[in-house]
A = this chain, B = another copy of it.
């Protein structure tokens, strides 16, 4: 898993396709080492396997043309947005062409009255929300990075707001994609729901570029709430914090965010963001709604927290305080890095039913200790989704081996606890073997679908399933 084996390369096909496409794309096709390296090297610990060339597409027609040429010569294509995925998704184990869609970053239509927006895949989530600023609407999905929406759809991303607003699965109404044949499909229109045949929208979401390249997305938008407030509460233990989360969800309090930080993370954040939070497991929350409802939610949570042994409960609706708190949460990864200067840090990802969350977190800490690893935890705990950030020296084989053991063990633990090997990071190269454990014969169905849609395996080969 650490060293993803290279796949067989179609040297002559790659050479020919690059020649043909260079004619058409000129300067927009680059074979420079640095840019190739950059398009394979992502926020990951998996070895860099750079593509043979990078092409910048400006339109659906560009993508379709690239795909037709690649298909004719059986050359791999790897779609590229911001390169912030975590499981080796943009690596090129069989070589081929990285199709960079960052120039396809237009907002094509805002339908404020229908709460939807039509966009190109290269726009990032922050740029989209910046564009929407004056409409009173926003797009809630917020993975750690300022990722492209195309990449977020391809990896079925989520983030801190998913507990209330769902994931990319729930917030894409339809999409346009170029299939491996070069044909362009549109999976639906702008209706809020549909029963019209197989759910091709959901099939493409989470397919990680292995079935086609997403060239347009129609997204659901949400009204910016009248009122927002944030709260924080410390707990004597992870279990106590998890119990408060379970009660909150079960009571139907419509929290917009409910995030867990373990004591190590809290200390790291205190140091990094100059805060003075109690050095205990901490829940950070956000409430959205009317002024009255937000106050009611905060109060209801406060009572639950107290029953669970929580202390230091504070809530605020002052925008500057809210921003400071959430900025600190978003900076958690950097705060952790700063807490162990010179170390590498790998974020991994599992998701379990919330009743199993305390056990999962506790056992992961014990296993991490047993392996001599340090792996502090942050989590989108309203969904049962948590991340161990593992410190290691990436150049040290023993460190990497222990880290690999831990991640594989953690996936097994998630399955044992009726959960999933990945809540939001995806499979990529990193979790292909764990995927088979999770879905069993379902992996054959995935392979059959891949084979049917992409028989020459040109779309991001070596990710999710082998055919």
Binding site for B on A (CB under 8 A): 111-116, 155-158, 162, 166-167, 169-170, 179, 183-200, 202-203, 205-207, 211, 222-223, 225-226, 246, 249-252, 254, 289-290, 292-293, 296, 300, 351-355, 383-385, 414-415, 418-427, 431, 435, 438-446, 448-453, 464-465
Contacts and interface: CB of A to CB of B under 8 A. Distances in A.
A195 B355 contact: no
Nearest to A431: B196
Given A202-B202, A452-B452, A423 B193 contact: yes
A407 to B, nearest CB: 14
Contact of A184 (B292, B418, B441, B443): B441
A179 B179 CA distance: 26
A199 B169 contact: yes
B415 A189 contact: yes
17 contacts: A113-B354, A114-B355, A115-B249, A156-B199, A179-B445, A185-B445, A189-B419, A191-B353, A192-B384, A193-B385, A198-B203, A199-B205, A202-B203, A289-B293, A293-B296, A445-B453, A452-B452
A169 to B, nearest CB: 7
Nearest to A290: B296
A351 B193 contact: yes
B195 A156 contact: yes
Contact of A191 (B193, B194, B352): B352
Given A189-B419, A191-B353, A355-B114, A199 B202 contact: yes
A172 to B, nearest CB: 11
Nearest to A192: B383
B189 A440 contact: no
Nearest to A295: B292
Contacts of A155: 195
A295 to B, nearest CB: 9
A281 B296 CA distance: 35
A414 B203 CA distance: 23
Contacts of A115: 249-250
A437 to B, nearest CB: 10
Given A113-B354, A354-B113, A453-B445, A439 B193 contact: no
Nearest to A157: B195
Contacts of A453: 445, 448-449
B446 A449 contact: no
Contact of A449 (B166, B190, B206, B452): B452
B111 A202 contact: no
A195 B438 CA distance: 11
Nearest to A419: B191
B353 A114 contact: yes
A183 B169 CA distance: 27
B195 A199 contact: no
A396 B452 CA distance: 44
Contacts of A448: 452-453
Given A440-B185, A440-B186, A445-B200, A420 B194 contact: yes
Contacts of A211: 198
Contacts of A425: 195
Given A162-B193, A202-B199, A423-B191, A252 B222 contact: yes
A137 to B, nearest CB: 8
A425 B252 CA distance: 30
Nearest to A183: B441
Contacts of A384: 191-192
A21 B292 CA distance: 63
A448 B451 CA distance: 10
A121 B316 CA distance: 46
Contacts of A293: 289-290, 292-293, 296
